[in-house]
Structure 1
Amino acid sequence: MTERNLPIVAVAGLACETSTFSPGRTLAPAFKPKRGGEIISHYSSFIGPSTPLGNKVEWKGALIGHALPGGIVTKDAFEELAREIIARLRDIVSQSPIQGLWYDIHGAMCVEGLDDCEAELLRRIRGVIGKDVLVSASMDLHGNVSRELCHMTDLITCYRTAPHVDVRETRERACRNLVDLLESEKGRPLKAWVPIPILLPGEQTSTRLEPATHIYAAVPEVEKTDGVIDAAIWVGYAWADEPRNRAVVVVTGWDKSAVSVGAEKLAKIFWAAHKDFKFVAPTGTYKECLDIALASKARPYFISDSGDNPTAGGCGDVTWGLTHLLARPEFKSPSGPTVIYASVPGPKAVEAAVQAGIGATITVTAGAEIDNLHAGPVTITGRVHSIKHGDKDAVIEVVLQVGSVFAILTKLRKPYHHESDFTELDLKPREADIVIVKIGYLEPELFDMAKDWMLGLTPGGVDQDIKRLGHVRIRRPMWPFDEKFEKEPDLRVRFIEGSGESLEGVDE
């Protein structure tokens, strides 16, 4: 205990949504690790010293890292960061025993040569902090909860919205539940785990639309039940090929009947709607999307170039979309329909644009340095429209005007989710005819801007047509890979006992 006699809670975790179908690799620097006091400052709004949770517990940061989604994490990167987490936790424990740990993860990280790496990391952490320390995990609803991960935690929860507008709320809930558990001195709650044989992309499970709207609306109702601490539904992550990838329900609490009834209720609601999931917007081939956008009077018209979405695990440097866009005759002239395209990385192209300066006409080649499975590098001649330095992801951004297309090129890949991402490049998305973004469902600001939009079923490491990706390791049968089930899935609760030791030889 501390001088104030407060419980000590450590914070650790690694988060990265990784596609095993992407040729990219995620290295240790991509996690942009935060250490020690940096972690507490990062989450100061709810675990800072002046907050209610900060007044009840002394929070000690070990190491957290949140990487932009991408390709599989290299084994060396994982081992490097995991070793530092373990070393820092050993240092914290050597100074004073800890009572709790907030496990800050995403849940869809994949590591070369490892299955279920979040459970593996927590197993190593348990080896340092001991089996009696209470662990609370917060996750993305697109993460995966294996039986082992559920076993190794005491509390586990996830977002309840997609797009995710409750990120902070979820993390704070995970911390609050942990603090309440420490104060109660009741020990470990019951954990009801129900796997559901469904694996769908987020673009078919957005909580903006049915059936996800009513499914997720049931979560807080279960949570309100006497004897229940938390209820959560994971959609799972569709662009990785591991046995743990599928939908899952977990309910935690003190009353066995309430926990069991709540978990089975949520699982049955989810399964009952499995045939009702549809894409969040009208879909089509890229050509169909462009044809419809040109014919429409709605402006701006947004198109999701979804197959290379860098916030779902795409490399971000697939040139297929930009190449096909520039080939269209409608956009060859500067007087054609105004199109904004975001984006393609091209470090050398960006350097050339910076050297040439705004207003210069240059010929550059960009893209396909990592993912060249669908198209090679694109060579374009255009006028440098704008240059921006200092972006946290892209580092440097330039805009080239090619005919009526304003193509954004970046030094490093970047997601474009906010209006300011465009206006700071002297672009006016609200006045454009068409805005094409490498994204799946539109993030809130883009959704509000769009007068209409379509989801382009384009190729890439996060192809929305998941059946053509080639999963071979997921459990079967699995909807929608299998459309006929010989028998109804077993949606009975599995109560997961304990949490301090590894769970061996279980059949999930």
Structure 2
Amino acid sequence: MKIAVGGFQHETNTFAPTKADYAAFAEGGGWPPVSRGEEVLAAVAGMNLPIAGFTEAARTAGHQVVPLTWAAASPSSYVTEDAFERICGQIIDDLAGLRGVDAVYLDLHGAMVTEHFQDGEGEILRRVRATVGRDLPVVTSLDLHANVTPEIVALSDGLVIYRTYPHVDMAKTGERAFVLLSGLLQGRHYAKAYRQLPFLIPLTGGCTLIEPAASIYAALEEIEAEEGLASISFACGFGPADIHHCGPSLVAYGGDAAAAERAADRIQAMVAEQEAAFGGDILPAAEAVREARAIAAGRPGKPVVLADTQDNPGAGGDGDTVGLLEALVEQSAEGAVLGLLIDRESAERAHMAGADSTVRLELGAKSGQPGHKPLVADFKVLRLGDGAFTCTGPFYEGARMRLGPMALLELNGVQVAVASKKVQAADMEMFRHLGVEPTERPIVAVKSSVHFRAHFQPVAERVIVAAAPGPNPVDHSLLTYRNLRPGVRLMPAKG
């Protein structure tokens, strides 16, 4: 078979300060830059990405894979109309120019909001359908944080969603998408069951390494087998998106419609039973630091990891608020390190000053968020880096980072790793690039919500989620929604 493959990924926080223009996709934000045609396959080869997993599975099965365009950018505010039209236009133009295509696979996210469309993926699929017609099989993989709309379900023949957060199964999800597509290519027809759930889940509440998500996601494969389904998926949704269809959802596919509906009902009941547990635990920054210091003093040898979730670049933050850093400095958390703080100006000034120098900086708060101020001080420049390295952790495995000038700074015994390009701190190599071994530090603070857990949690004495300034509040009631459909609770109901 001849299968066209492409992808267009963005997770949109409509409350974030910075939009994703075409340049953001050209940089990639930790993933490969926008690629077209054969360069797509080289760009994603060996990486933990759905399109890489799908392509390998399809080729192993003897099919021809024809790449269109693949693009991704760091989560942020709206995708600009120009960026969307240019990238989506490439996908559609190349697809329209193909002959003899038997199927289409799209590596999408599911939470893209553009300046002109609330449902970016729905619009992509609408245009794909207008190009290839209704009869050609179209299968899509989505992020666990997809806000799955009725249009996405209606316009695709199959959706396969990640089952891990941290997303260590992205390539595996691509393989699962190929299996689902294979059934369609063999003439099978699947009934769909779709549910939208009535409350928003904070990012930290959906971590599959802890409850309640751990048990629910573990049950998917079991229920899938028991009901004889081709696939069942649960998406936690992406809460900081002010759109009509924001929120968690379920999608099931099976040859028997009753079995698909029954499976969806079973998972929905499990989620409802555990609703209160999805709220998650979080401590104010100063309290989180005090607790981390006490734990590190009492049980030295393994780091306490602090998650600066509300300024997570993986949730739309710019990674430049300094609230948690200030708490560490004020409490003289000797040996602690925070990263990555995104501030190109400060990184470049550190490079100009040179290693072993002292330089006065207005560190952070470059994105202009109201009420956010930089940390003004004389910092010691410990080490410098060019930002070029390859990640080794389970989430970013194989990702070739190009973060621009980087610097390790120190103030009052606390160190901070500064980078020039935005990416969430989910891999130890981001610290090791600057000579910091995270496993040897008493406290490691990361600007990440959950993805860091894949690499850091196995070596941590404890993980503490800290509440510091940023556009991804754990408590969605702090945000002003204008487009959310009626009846959806902004937070899980408390038990």
Q: Do the two structures share a fold, i.e. TM-score over 0.5? A: yes
User: Shift of the alpha carbon at 1:403?
Assistant: 2.1
Task: Report the residue type matching 2:446 in the other structure.
Answer: V
**Contact 1:137 1:153 (C-alpha < 8 Å) held by counterparts:** yes
**Which of 396, 403, 411 lines up with 1:402 in the alignment?**
411
User: Shift of the alpha carbon at 1:19?
Assistant: 0.6
- SS of the residue 1:293 aligns to: helix
Query: Which residue pairs with 1:64 in the alignment?
Result: 70
Query: Which residue pairs with 1:425 in the alignment?
Result: 434
Query: Which residue pairs with 1:261 in the alignment?
Result: 262
Query: Which residue pairs with 1:504 in the alignment?
Result: none
User: Shift of the alpha carbon at 1:47?
Assistant: 5.0
- SS of the residue 2:250 aligns to: strand
Deviations 1:209-261 (A, max 9, x none): 22222211221122214642100111111111111111111111211221121
Q: How does 1:127-138 map to 2 (within 5 A)?
A: 127-138=130-141
User: Shift of the alpha carbon at 1:288?
Assistant: 0.5
**Contact 1:393 1:414 (C-alpha < 8 Å) held by counterparts:** no
**Which of 155, 161, 164 lines up with 1:161 in the alignment?**
164
Deviations 1:4-51 (A, max 9, x none): xxx2111122111121111111112322212112233425764557x5
Query: Which residue pairs with 2:359 in the alignment?
Result: 362
Query: Which residue pairs with 2:453 in the alignment?
Result: 443
Task: Report the residue type matching 1:339 in the other structure.
Answer: A
Q: Would you say 1:453 and 2:463 are equivalent positions?
A: yes
**Contact 1:199 1:479 (C-alpha < 8 Å) held by counterparts:** yes
Task: Report the residue type matching 2:404 in the other structure.
Answer: V
Query: Which residue pairs with 2:392 in the alignment?
Result: none
Q: Would you say 1:206 and 2:207 are equivalent positions?
A: yes
Range that drifts further, 21-30 or 295-304? 295-304
In 1, distance between residues paired with 2:282 and 2:345?
34
Query: Which residue pairs with 1:21 in the alignment?
Result: 15
Range that drifts further, 230-239 or 266-275? 266-275
Deviations 1:156-201 (A, max 9, x none): 010111122211111111022112321x223x42111111112111
> Residues 270 and 342 of structure 1: is their aligned pair in 2 closer, same or farther, counting only changes over 3 Å?
same
**Contact 1:346 1:365 (C-alpha < 8 Å) held by counterparts:** no
In 1, distance between residues paired with 2:277 and 2:67?
43
Query: Which residue pairs with 2:144 in the alignment?
Result: 141
**Which of 179, 184, 190 lines up with 2:182 in the alignment?**
179
Query: Which residue pairs with 2:251 in the alignment?
Result: 250
- SS of the residue 1:448 aligns to: helix
In 1, distance between residues paired with 2:458 and 2:171?
22
User: Shift of the alpha carbon at 1:306?
Assistant: 1.4
> Residues 226 and 483 of structure 1: is their aligned pair in 2 closer, same or farther, counting only changes over 3 Å?
closer
Question: For this pair of structures, how many residues does the alignment match?
Answer: 465
In 1, distance between residues paired with 2:203 and 2:93?
36
Q: How does 1:118-133 map to 2 (within 5 A)?
A: 118-133=121-136
In 1, distance between residues paired with 2:340 and 2:248?
31
Task: Report the residue type matching 1:343 in the other structure.
Answer: L
Query: Which residue pairs with 1:495 in the alignment?
Result: none
Query: Which residue pairs with 1:338 in the alignment?
Result: 335
- Structure with max Cα Rg: 1
In 2, distance between residues paired with 1:227 and 1:290?
49
In 1, distance between residues paired with 2:223 and 2:492?
30
TM superposition score normalised by structure 1: 0.87
**Contact 1:46 1:54 (C-alpha < 8 Å) held by counterparts:** no
Query: Which residue pairs with 1:491 in the alignment?
Result: none
In 1, distance between residues paired with 2:239 and 2:54?
33
Percent of aligned positions with the same letter in both sequences?
Answer: 28
User: Shift of the alpha carbon at 1:76?
Assistant: 1.4
Task: Report the residue type matching 2:3 in the other structure.
Answer: V
**Contact 1:374 1:460 (C-alpha < 8 Å) held by counterparts:** no
**Contact 1:225 1:258 (C-alpha < 8 Å) held by counterparts:** no
**Superposition CA RMSD, Å:** 2.1
User: Shift of the alpha carbon at 1:278?
Assistant: 4.1
Range that drifts further, 243-252 or 387-396? 387-396
In 2, distance between residues paired with 1:248 and 1:161?
15
